[in-house]
Structure 1
Amino acid sequence: MPGELVAVMGPSGSGKTTLLNIAGTLDAPTSGRVFIAGNDSGYLPPTARATIRRTHVGFVFQDFNLIPTLTVLENVSLPLELGKMSTKEARAQGRAALEDINQADLANRYPSEISGGQRQRVAIARALVGVRQLILADEPTGALDTTTAESVMQLLRRRVDDGAACVLVTHEPRFAAWADRVVYLRDGKIVDEADNNG
């Protein structure tokens, strides 16, 4: 739901990443229906699903998925440029996203030239660049120190408070506490749910 942060928890192999991939139209559900931006994703052709991902969804993958031949700024700006935004405007928004995560000084470096924690923050900036209605974050704090992880959670919370929806996969109860709701998965099924708001 817009304006809601949902944390997903569960043991390894419980289906957390699969859930994110289905929600982001990377994978198709084997049953049920998934609506993104008012569209039933199961009935959309691949090009339409790609358009939805590019224009509405921001992903933070566990393995970052940065393109090694692009600079940090180019990686962050890429979703906007693929969406037909001018390079100049996309790069301006990319710089702003890097500033939000205190990584603007890395703009002209390549992924291989920065640390794992820095790559994690760049992946977060890429997910948040522009206006994303849905943010899907798979362990976004996994490679970060405590202070940086807290600032990332503040940034995600701010985006949600501005109207985005966010699904956050985490093993950390302290980060799940930032969520409005916590969903617990086991063997691909929701086994419990908690409302953090009351």
Structure 2
Amino acid sequence: MTRPNTTSPLSPQQLSNSPVSTAPALQLDHVSRVHRDGPTTVTALDDVSLIVEPGELVAVMGPSGSGKSTLLNIAGTLDSPTSGTVRIGGVDVSALSATRRAEVRRRHVGYVFQDYNLIPTLTVAENITLPLELDHVGRRTARRRALAALAELGLEDLADRFPAEVSGGQAQRIAIARGLIGDRHLILADEPTGALDSVTAESVLDLLRSRIRDGAAGLLVTHEPRFAAVADRTVHLRDGAVLGGA
């Protein structure tokens, strides 16, 4: 089976139809991100190269300010590198227009944000179905999938509540359900267990691992070595650089 031609960007539709085994789910080549504020420059990422294959979960660890969240934002096309290339499923997303990057992000990347990012005016179920509806999945089908995702986390009774009506731990699990729903080739999780007790955190990580076993790839930022231990390997960041290679 041949790899897709990555010298010219594939369309998001081609990415959707391409076999996940033909290319790494995520590939960063010599990626740097420099923030400039007048004469001051801050290097958030420094020449980072990283490959995550389908079916692989990679944990990212490092002290505060080491570049972990910047790495996730660039991996998921929420931010652009100052230099280097980012490929998702073999597609050089750094060469795509903002519109096409958004399509790839919406269809193929699942996010679990540290601060939840739930929309307060939408119900729990509507928050979860939003990525599906933006991708033209029918409302009934999307709600059925949302309820199934909530049931996996023991939250089906919260479907018609609003984010302000749930606890912090419940909001975190709702954000996880939203990040995992649909056909996601790449799952990015930023401290997904931060607001959870140890038992619930382990069940959430089990759910994440099940998605990885189904063929997705995952990048998990965590400060907990016991949670990083569920990953296939761990990448350590310090001052924006990978320690010891990736």
Normalised by the size of structure 1, how large is the TM-score?
A: 0.96
Which structure's residues are more often helix, by fraction?
A: 1
Q: CA RMSD in A?
A: 1.0
Task: List aligned pairs for 1:50-65, cutoff 5 A.
Answer: 50-65=102-117
Q: Does 1:39 align with 2:91?
A: yes
Q: CA deviation at 1:10?
A: 0.1
Task: List aligned pairs for 1:1-198, cutoff 5 A.
Answer: 1-192=53-244
Aligned to 2:46: none
Give the letter for the 2:222 counterpart.
T
Task: Indicate the structure (1 or 2) with the bigger Cα radius of gyration.
Answer: 2
Number of residue pairs aligned between Structure 1 and Structure 2? 194
For 2:154 and 2:190, locate their aligned partners in 1 and report how far apart those are by CA, in whole Å.
21
Q: CA deviation at 1:38?
A: 2.4
For 2:225 and 2:92, locate their aligned partners in 1 and report how far apart those are by CA, in whole Å.
32
Q: Is contact 1:6–1:183 with CA below 8 Å preserved after alignment?
A: yes
Q: Is contact 1:68–1:110 with CA below 8 Å preserved after alignment?
A: yes
Taking only the aligned residue pairs, the percentage that are identical comes to: 66
1:162-198 Cα distance to aligned partner (Å, 9 max, x none): 111000000000000000010000011101368xxxx
For 2:244 and 2:156, locate their aligned partners in 1 and report how far apart those are by CA, in whole Å.
40
1:135-167 Cα distance to aligned partner (Å, 9 max, x none): 000000000000000000100111111111000
Give the letter for the 1:148 counterpart.
T
For 2:244 and 2:115, locate their aligned partners in 1 and report how far apart those are by CA, in whole Å.
28
Normalised by the size of structure 2, how large is the TM-score?
A: 0.77
SS state of the match for residue 33, structure 1? Answer: strand
Q: CA deviation at 1:30?
A: 1.3
Q: Is contact 1:67–1:111 with CA below 8 Å preserved after alignment?
A: yes
Q: Is contact 1:134–1:166 with CA below 8 Å preserved after alignment?
A: yes
Give the letter for the 2:206 counterpart.
Q
Q: CA deviation at 1:2?
A: 0.3
Runs of 4+ in 1 over 4 A off after TM superposition: none
SS state of the match for residue 166, structure 1? Answer: strand
1:94-113 Cα distance to aligned partner (Å, 9 max, x none): 11111111111100000000
Which structure's residues are more often strand, by fraction?
A: 2
Give the letter for the 1:112 counterpart.
A
